[in-house]
């Protein structure tokens, strides 16, 4: 009976997210989590689902706003959380931006077990390499002079493995397969540049783990390009004022007399 209720609720929740598709955090992170609990949901999962639905109901007027600072550099934030799933696999998230607001974001379970957070970060970055390179090639084919993909990384050991490959590999990382060093090949080709950033400025962190309070609001403000202390009441008032202004404009337009000669 519990499974049937969960199977009924998840599609409804997906519909709510489709109607509320501007919320990048819940569209990616909760979807990847909820669909792994279909077979055996517990009371804790039900509590999380109710909390998500309450959040969506309380942020109906939250909008994603995008700004562009520099079209020559595509900024990608990729982060990973080690050993967070029941089968000891990690979770990786990515955010693509051109200035403020997430052009696209992703939150996915890592497909293999890793032995350290460094390896999880490397495997996660490799998992999002197709999306990173696609964004570069897509922008170039549209005629924009894009120079490079700038990949932000908050793990120094992973950053060294990306840049140096096997030369930075030691006893704890020598088992990593060569395919995960594809990113080094793209760095050597000049298509990707790795930049270190502090953990507090890793905006993809919220796509890998649940955050609360101030930390969640800060991450949301970066992904959605809204104020940190965003409240839905103010946006609802603004929406109502815009709707009234449109109604008045339509009424004035319809009340204008029709002029011109009638055709015989």
6: tokens are: 């969960």
DSSP 137-166: HHHHHTT----EEEEEE--HHHHHHHHHGG
> Are 47 and 104 in a shared domain?
no
Q: Is pLDDT above 60 for 8?
A: no
Residue 70 CA to residue 221 CA, distance in Å, equals 20
Residues 116-128: pLDDT tens digits? 898 899 999 999 9
State the DSSP H helix or E strand holding residue 247, giving kind and residue range, or none if neither. helix 232-255
Residue 258 CA to residue 228 CA, distance in Å, equals 49
Spatial CB neighbours of 236, under 8 Å, sequence gap ≥ 6: 60, 61
Question: The domain spanning residue 177 has which CATH number?
Answer: 3.30.420.10
Q: Burial of 196 by CB count in 10 Å (0-12 exposed, 13-18 middle, 19+ buried)? A: exposed
> Are 42 and 142 in a shared domain?
no
> Are 13 and 132 in a shared domain?
no
> Are 177 and 77 in a shared domain?
yes
Q: Is pLDDT above 80 for 256?
A: no
State the DSSP H helix or E strand holding residue 47, giving kind and residue range, or none if neither. helix 43-58
Question: Quick check: 152 and 77 in contact, CB under 8 A?
Answer: yes
Nearest to 202 by CA among 87, 97, 123: 97
Domain endpoint, select from 63, 82, 113:
63
> Are 177 and 160 in a shared domain?
yes
> Are 182 and 152 in a shared domain?
yes
Question: Quick check: 78 and 93 in contact, CB under 8 A?
Answer: yes
> Are 34 and 130 in a shared domain?
no
| Stretch among 74-88, 91-105, 138-152, 228-242 having the lowest mean pLDDT | 228-242
The overall average pLDDT reported for the chain is 81
Residues 11-57: pLDDT tens digits? 545 545 544 444 555 555 555 666 666 666 777 777 777 787 788 77
Domain assignment of residue 240, yes or no? no
Dihedral (CA of 202, 207, 76, 172) sign:
positive
> Are 85 and 156 in a shared domain?
yes
Domain endpoint, select from 31, 63, 95:
63
Question: Quick check: 81 and 208 in contact, CB under 8 A?
Answer: yes
pTM across the whole model? 0.77
What local confidence, expressed as pLDDT, does residue 248 receive?
82
What's the DSSP call for residue 51? H
**What confidence tier does 7 reach under pLDDT thresholds 50, 70, 90?**
very low
What's the average model confidence in pLDDT over 230-258?
Answer: 73
> Are 34 and 163 in a shared domain?
no
Nearest to 217 by CA among 43, 59, 45: 59
Residue identified by tokens 């202004």 is: 245
Beta pairing class for 73-81 and 148-153: parallel
Residues of the domain holding 50: 2-63
Question: Quick check: 159 and 196 in contact, CB under 8 A?
Answer: yes
């Amino acid at each position: 009976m519990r499974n049937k209720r969960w199977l009924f609720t998840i599609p409804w929740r997906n519909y709510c997210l489709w109607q509320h598709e501007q919320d990048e955090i819940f569209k990616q992170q909760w979807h990847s989590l909820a669909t792994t609990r279909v077979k055996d949901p517990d009371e804790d999962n039900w509590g999380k689902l109710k909390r998500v639905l309450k959040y969506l109901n309380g942020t109906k007027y939250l909008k994603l706003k995008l700004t562009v600072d520099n079209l020559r550099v595509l900024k990608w934030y990729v982060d990973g959380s080690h050993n967070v799933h029941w089968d000891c696999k990690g979770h990786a998230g990515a955010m693509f931006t051109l200035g403020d607001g997430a052009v696209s974001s992703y939150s996915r379970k890592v497909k293999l077990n890793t032995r350290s957070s460094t390896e999880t970060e490397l495997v996660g970055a490799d998992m999002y390499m197709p999306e990173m390179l696609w964004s570069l090639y897509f922008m170039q084919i549209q005629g924009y002079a894009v120079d490079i993909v700038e990949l932000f990384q908050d793990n120094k050991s992973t950053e060294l493995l990306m840049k140096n490959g096997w030369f930075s590999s030691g006893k704890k990382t020598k088992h990593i397969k060569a395919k995960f060093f594809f990113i080094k090949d793209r760095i050597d080709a000049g298509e990707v540049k790795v930049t270190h950033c502090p953990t507090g400025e890793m905006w993809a962190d919220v796509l890998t783990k649940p955050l609360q309070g101030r930390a969640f609001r800060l991450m949301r403000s970066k992904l959605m390009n809204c104020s940190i202390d965003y409240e839905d009441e103010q946006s609802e008032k603004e929406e109502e004022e815009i709707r009234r202004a449109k109604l008045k404009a339509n009424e004035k337009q319809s009340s204008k007399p029709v002029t011109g000669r009638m055709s015989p």
